[in-house]
Structure 1
């Protein structure tokens, strides 16, 4: 039995939301499995895998060393690995035996310390912990352009080039279609060091957009971005700007909890 265990290597397949996939293995040399190269990462170690046949969420922690070639601290903090899909399996590197799956899910909370990190792997059962019924709100709970909002996004997104960056203010070579049209919107980086990342837009004025936080990496002039219009989720904006009051997903006229604190004559 010990000889068999000596030939078993743990492997991780990580697929980021931007389509990039990498492979890591605890073996002392690289392995190629199903056409993907799994880089040797002896520092990668999983905790005990919790699996059950009930409705409790399956969870697992993966600890590893931060390496610039695989998973760097800057990329973790930038959010490149948020929500990435992870598949963990055991493979016998001395034979063609099919790998044995051990767990799969998405990366949850990530904690960095010293020269390493710990990532929580959330199994598919974790979705059962999500609320079944939405809470009421004065603001719209839909996202602009999604299946519930139904606003056509054709013409409400465009590609542009970065002219200059000063802190969180980014000047583009394209003007906005209306006053603060990009406010509450999204800026997707398609080139440069921030490629694959998204930045939330706080406000816009002409060709200048103010991000909610400065870019993670210093953008190069001429970097390609995609800018998408936003919505402040208020009923007035939905009605007046988008003519979409029929699809407003909120309760703007529902009395709030402050109704309980009112008194006659207030």
Structure 2
């Protein structure tokens, strides 16, 4: 149930309203952005909502019980603060969203209609579509221990205990040649075996993408070169000489935990757990 101020209620009863939608987006890095479908900027609570940003919202879908409410926002990348590079880099993944119905002639008259987070983002050329998920979405996420063969800890967290700042698990170097915005040859990590940094974290420390961190898809060591491929494109094509720091990756297997990290005491998987074939076996007369 929504509670409206007496002034807002009186405005709605006039029959000649001046209403607009406002979207407030707060990214995980703390950046706050505001957008509105009104033709002039609207400001309240310290946030200015940018006008004519190319946003169009679908109907909001409500569900009973714990089903997830959702809607979809579509738009064009016309805003100077909403860039294709930021979307591609995942800066809006799981960003918190608040949707307001506002009287643009007096923004103090408003009501919070929905709050949630950004889910799937799809892009086609200069257009994008972002799924907004209700707060019930978080109730559907797995919680607690997972009974599985592989480890359910994150490499380097408190449960894992591996010190990723150690020189044994961290390498530094520079870009030698870039085949694309996500695949390039590097120098400085020749002493590490192939796949050592696969599933690790690659951080640019200089160049146009300085500060950006992307997960490593593959790390391959050839006879005369070392190649790194990332899961997503960098914000800008890497240039020769750009510096980076890359940390080790883990495939969550007990064998890797023992051989690479000597950390089996903290392994959080169940490597001896019976599989489905064992559980579905039936007795047969001999």
Deviation (angstroms), 1:245? 0.9
Deviation (angstroms), 1:44? 1.7
Rounded to whole Å, the distance in 1 between the matches of 2:255 and 2:112 is: 51
Counterpart selection for 1:164 from 169, 173, 177: 177
Look at both structures and tell me which one has the larger radius of gyration over its CA atoms.
Answer: 2
The answer to whether the 8 A contact 1:143-1:149 is kept is yes
1:146 aligns with 157
The answer to whether the 8 A contact 2:77-2:128 is kept is yes
* 1:111–1:165 Cα change, 3 Å: closer
Deviation (angstroms), 1:94? 2.4
1:185 aligns with 200
Counterpart selection for 1:94 from 85, 105, 109: 105
Q: TM-score, normalised by structure 2?
A: 0.75
Q: TM-score, normalised by structure 1?
A: 0.80
The answer to whether the 8 A contact 1:11-1:90 is kept is yes
2:116 aligns with 105
The answer to whether the 8 A contact 1:10-1:88 is kept is yes
Output the aligned Cα RMSD.
3.4
Which sections of structure 1, spanning at least 5 residues, go unmatched?
none
Rounded to whole Å, the distance in 1 between the matches of 2:126 and 2:177 is: 34
Counterpart selection for 1:241 from 233, 236, 260: 260
Rounded to whole Å, the distance in 1 between the matches of 2:219 and 2:76 is: 38
SS at match of 2:128: strand
Question: Which digits, 9 at most, give the CA deviation of each residue in 1:179-218, with x for residues without a partner?
Answer: 2432321113454258635132412539834215573542
Which sections of structure 2, spanning at least 5 residues, go unmatched?
1-11
Matched, 1:11 2:11: no
The answer to whether the 8 A contact 1:27-1:42 is kept is no
Matched, 1:211 2:225: no
Matched, 1:221 2:240: yes
The answer to whether the 8 A contact 2:23-2:36 is kept is yes
Rounded to whole Å, the distance in 2 between the matches of 1:108 and 1:71 is: 16
* 1:261–1:129 Cα change, 3 Å: same
Rounded to whole Å, the distance in 2 between the matches of 1:50 and 1:121 is: 11
The answer to whether the 8 A contact 1:199-1:211 is kept is no
The answer to whether the 8 A contact 2:185-2:226 is kept is yes
Deviation (angstroms), 1:126? 0.8
1:66 aligns with 77
Deviation (angstroms), 1:178? 3.6
Aligned length: 264
The answer to whether the 8 A contact 1:25-1:42 is kept is yes
Rounded to whole Å, the distance in 2 between the matches of 1:116 and 1:3 is: 37
* 1:16–1:40 Cα change, 3 Å: same
* 1:86–1:158 Cα change, 3 Å: farther
* 1:102–1:23 Cα change, 3 Å: same
